[in-house]
Chain A
Amino acid sequence: MNTGRTRREFIQGLIISVGGAVTLTACGDGETTSEDATITATPTGNDGRFYLASEMALLSRLSDLIIPRTETPGALDANVPGYLDGLMADWASEVTRQAQHQTMQDLAARLNSAVDNFLEVDNQLALSALTELDSNAFNGDDSLSGYRTLKGYITQAFFATEEGALQELKWVAVPGRWDPSVDIVAAD
């Protein structure tokens, strides 16, 4: 039961248990930094089914900064903005939709006051501005509840995609057994 495996071995074990059908990008030898790996949002300039073009651009940048491409796909690789556009168009009520538009408007104003043109500044500046906002959001600033909700949407959507679930979270469709005690050795 207590196998003493490293986390990497543990993850590899999970993937083997689904028949090796998954490309093991998370455990590759190539290491890149978050900064190197982060890709720039490339908004199409078009309105989505729900989000306006300007909102899609902001959502894309936020998604990319929050869940960047690393050794595994990031939120843009998994088309999280498109996922959320569908969520708002097909799931959300009018009240939720209005709240979402308001959140995007508020975030654009806050971030553009922190840096000059949040969508265009380089990643370091954008990262710095969003990190400060994020820190405030999770340290009692209730005026940022819309951001917390949006971050929840982005995260849940990412891990519900094939890229996020399989390659990053190592979700296993059929575990086949219950092991209540697996050691994680912090070797990696």
Chain B
Amino acid sequence: MADFDAIVVGSGMSGGMSAKELTERGLKVLVLERGPQIIPERDYTDQLAPWETPNLDNVPQDEISQHYPKQYGGVAYAIKQSTKHFWVKDDEHPYAEAEGTSYDWLRGYHTAGRSIMWSRQTYRLGPQDFTANQSEGIAVDWPVRYEDIEPWYEQVETFAGVAGSEEGLEQLPDSVFQPAFTLTDAEIAFKQRVETRFNGRRVIPARIAHLTDATEEQRSLGRSNCQARNRCHHGCSFKAYFSSLNATLPAAQRTGNLTIIHNAIVQGLDFDPQTSRISGVRVVDAQTREHRTWTSRIVFLNASAIASAMILLQSRSETFPNGLANRSDQVGRNLMDHVSSSGVAGILNGFEHKTTFGRRPSGGIYIPRYANITENDKPYKRGFGFQGGARPLGNAGGQIAGIGREFKEAHRRPGPWRINVLAFGEQLPDPENRVTLHPTKRDRWDNPLALFNVSYGDNEHIMQQEAVQDAVAMFEAAGCQNITVSEADLSKPGNRIHEMGTARMGRDPETSVLNGWCQAHDVPNLFITDGAFMTSSACQNPSLTYMAFSARAADYAAGLLAAGEL
């Protein structure tokens, strides 16, 4: 008899949702988390005042060089002395990059994974995203359509809580919303001017996973409305933003069906050729280095697109000499992220007599994709959405002229309003963009290091050049002054922290790893519902989609178990 009905590998965004959905259907579930336990009362630091975090909350420079060169280089804004425990130390968790390439693998190992540190932008994919591969003859067709996932979006959004506004856009379907964080006056002016000048472009409030009108269900989990502190990268004691730790794991816990084991690094999945099923999940304890094997009737991989692919590649057998469920040779390939380039900023005059109250968390405005939707003259495929916002420039950290009373009191005044945007673009799937097992290098637990070989193609380069030009044109139309374009090439692959595509869905087992239910074509009791299943990346932030597919797959898997088909 198996130890559990289901094992979920990973407790982050998708793992938490898988665990919730499976436990609520009566399954006994074991969640294996490779990192230590996060206890909010002990580990969240959101209640610290500025004067309670010495040295401007900066991590010592030598410590960054020694432990966080990759992580800090990628997300300096989030790695503070009081939050560094949410991020891995690069020297303890190294990886390798193919010569001439560079990759940002930015992550944290602990309860709830990156769902603690995410930026909470939350958007549905649209109907066009599920048909683009087919219509353009790129990669393989998604085996599902928007209508298949729509009810699961609704279910997840209702549970998680998404602040946003109904806009009726076909390419960016509305979610189940709680009240949006209203636009500032400068943002409203920008919206009006841009929408007047560019027919088909819209400027809308960012959609973010924060509670603004908590439901009974959300309150029953100890969650309450966002307090507008913008301390989210420190955790949230109000549980106002969605994370596994704030929502799905407590929901799973209260069923009485959940067991979580921390410091459990999965090294491989045992395959039984007689049954064509996974027969065991091999684990090493990160601290004691003891090995053991757990068994279950089904396995959900939710370790992240990269880590789940690594687990499959490490799970070799006579049946699958290139890695479990890898008959198609697609495991680890088609690694995608979203791509950005230069940020564009400008001053919107006329709002100097305005300020705001409260600190809005995450985004302000979002400009949904219009390229190849309402404008079809583009020299590239797919498109991008802009994220940004407008706020008073404020004191600029002391980098203004003047001394004495006038300088001191200048910091009270909001000053001119600055608006900025950054494009998040779709990356096309390319089988040569991949993660593999390093042939010789291993980590301290004797697991092969990840070896990345990822670069952008012409489409990403052309798209981002055009995106910057588009942004400048919109800023000019809006009457912005002092428009600046930051010096930047394309963002480093991985830097948007939206990795996906390494075990793609498809209709044909010869060219894809998973079927339309996120179930491995060749291993019926294996489901993968982190970003690995994504057949294309779209341009929307993907966490909501991972969770919707997790809920859908969990329902399907539980149904198969109940029917005796697994």
Contact = CB atoms under 8 A, between A and B. Distances in A.
A68 B398 contact: no
A143 interface: no
A159 B404 contact: no
A66 B411 contact: no
B312 to A, nearest CB: 41
A151 B398 contact: yes
A111 interface: no
Contact of A157 (B56, B185, B358, B414): B56
A181 B227 contact: no
B353 A169 contact: no
Given A67-B408, A139-B401, A152-B398, A165 B49 contact: yes
A182 B355 contact: yes
Nearest to B356: A180
B403 A155 contact: no
Nearest to B61: A93
A34 B404 contact: yes
Most A-side CB within 10 Å, residue of B183, B228, B401, B405: B405
Contact of A183 (B226, B228, B354): B354
Given A127-B404, A183-B354, A176 B227 contact: yes
Contact of A169 (B61, B356, B412): B412
B511 interface: no
B80 to A, nearest CB: 12
- Looking at chain B's contact residues, the main secondary structure is loop
Contacts of B445: none
B403 A131 contact: yes
Nearest to B406: A34
Interface stretch (A50-58, A84-92, A102-110): A84-92
B401 A177 contact: no
A153 B182 CA distance: 34
B54 interface: yes
Contacts of A90: 54-55, 60
Interface in A160-188: 160-162, 165, 168-171, 173-186
A86 B55 CA distance: 7
Contacts of A67: 407-408
B228 to A, nearest CB: 4
Contact of A70 (B187, B229, B405): B405
The 9 A-B residue pairs with the shortest CB-CB distance, nearest first, are A155-B398, A34-B405, A175-B358, A138-B401, A93-B61, A179-B357, A178-B358, A91-B55, A180-B184
Given A66-B407, A134-B402, A173-B49, 18 more contacts: A68-B404, A70-B405, A91-B60, A92-B61, A127-B403, A131-B403, A138-B401, A156-B398, A168-B411, A171-B49, A173-B47, A173-B229, A176-B228, A178-B360, A179-B358, A181-B182, A182-B354, A185-B353
29 contacts: A7-B412, A10-B355, A34-B404, A66-B404, A90-B55, A91-B56, A91-B59, A91-B60, A93-B60, A93-B61, A127-B404, A134-B401, A137-B401, A138-B400, A139-B401, A153-B398, A161-B51, A168-B408, A168-B411, A173-B49, A174-B227, A178-B360, A179-B356, A180-B183, A180-B185, A181-B354, A181-B356, A183-B353, A184-B353
Interface of A: 7, 10-11, 14, 33-34, 37-38, 65-68, 70, 74, 86-87, 90-93, 96, 127, 130-131, 134-135, 137-139, 148, 151-157, 159-162, 165, 168-171, 173-186
